[in-house]
């Protein structure tokens, strides 16, 4: 996927919001590996495109995955046991060996901070998980606000987590740009009224990102000059 000129962003853009899983760290690949290992336990193969379109980032993704596993293999193992087995695979694959920084993360965060933008994380994951990787990769220092799934009433594709991030930043949602990797996250950010830049992972490039305002190969393609580099007024943080 070649980089392309970014279309005009709102001239009054004042903040940038990042999803966590798949945008800052590639935990997506580890999840795919874990789900694939679960299928192998029962002598089946999990197609990567099916996982990308029907599981990744979807609130109902894992119960649907379990139904497909039972249909494909004839097993009668219930959801509780499949959750237990999947969690065991997560323990193996959702580790620092597999959960690595996405390309260009530190460089982009540093450039946006230097330009004066307040930054937020808005994730459907829980605080413990997000905090683990922000701490592990020393990213927490870049962010003014971190909002996680248990802090809002409804998770993505509901826009609640993005609206809460904008509220805590003191910036109207329409003045925020968002980096997202999942179709569910893109829908949430669009519903919040934000400008959405999709950055798929290798595992999710097969998905339909037509709802995003722009599609990027990864964060290394982002030129800070694309943003209207105007330092936000100090009073705007309290709007």
- How far is Cα 194 from Cα 173, in angstroms, rounded to an integer? 6
Both tokens assigned to 10: 């709102």
For 147, the 3-state DSSP assignment is: strand
Contact 166, 156 (CB under 8 A): no
Residues 5-55 have pLDDT tens digits of: 555 576 788 899 999 999 999 999 999 999 999 999 999 999 999 999 999
Give, in order, the Cα–Cα distances in Å from 187 to each of 22, 202, 233: 15, 20, 29
pLDDT on residue 169: 97
The confidence band for 57, taking pLDDT boundaries of 50, 70 and 90, is: confident
Residues 109-153 have pLDDT tens digits of: 999 998 889 999 999 999 999 999 999 999 999 999 999 999 999
For 109, the 3-state DSSP assignment is: helix
- How far is Cα 131 from Cα 226, in angstroms, rounded to an integer? 29
Neighbours of 234 (CB within 10 A): 7
Q: Which superfamily, per CATH, for 15-27+100-226?
A: HAD superfamily/HAD-like (3.40.50.1000)
- Asked if residue 99 has pLDDT above 70, the reply is yes
Q: Where are the domains of the chain?
A: 15-27+100-226, 28-94
**What's this model's pTM, rounded to 2 decimal places?**
0.88
């Amino acid at each position: 996927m070649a980089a392309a000129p970014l279309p005009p962003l709102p001239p009054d853009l004042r903040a940038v919001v990042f999803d966590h899983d798949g945008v800052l760290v590639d935990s997506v690949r580890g999840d795919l590996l874990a789900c694939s290992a679960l299928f192998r336990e029962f002598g089946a193969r999990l197609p990567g495109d099916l996982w990308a379109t029907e599981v990744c980032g979807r609130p109902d993704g894992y119960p649907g995955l379990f139904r497909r596993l039972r249909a494909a293999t004839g097993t009668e193992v219930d959801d509780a046991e499949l959750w237990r087995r999947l969690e065991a695979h997560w323990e193996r694959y959702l580790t620092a060996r597999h959960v690595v920084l996405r390309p260009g993360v530190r460089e982009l965060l540093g450039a946006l901070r230097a330009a004066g933008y307040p930054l937020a994380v808005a994730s459907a994951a829980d605080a413990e998980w997000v905090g683990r990787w922000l701490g592990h990769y020393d990213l927490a220092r870049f962010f003014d606000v971190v909002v996680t799934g248990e802090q809002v009433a409804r998770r993505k594709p509901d826009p609640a987590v993005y609206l809460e991030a904008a509220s805590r930043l003191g910036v109207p949602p329409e003045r925020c740009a968002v980096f997202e990797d999942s179709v569910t996250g893109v829908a949430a950010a669009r519903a919040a009224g934000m400008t959405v830049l999709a950055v798929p992972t290798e595992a999710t490039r097969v998905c339909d990102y037509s709802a995003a305002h722009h599609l990027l190969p990864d964060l290394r393609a982002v030129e800070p000059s694309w943003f209207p580099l105007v330092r936000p007024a100090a009073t705007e943080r309290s709007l």
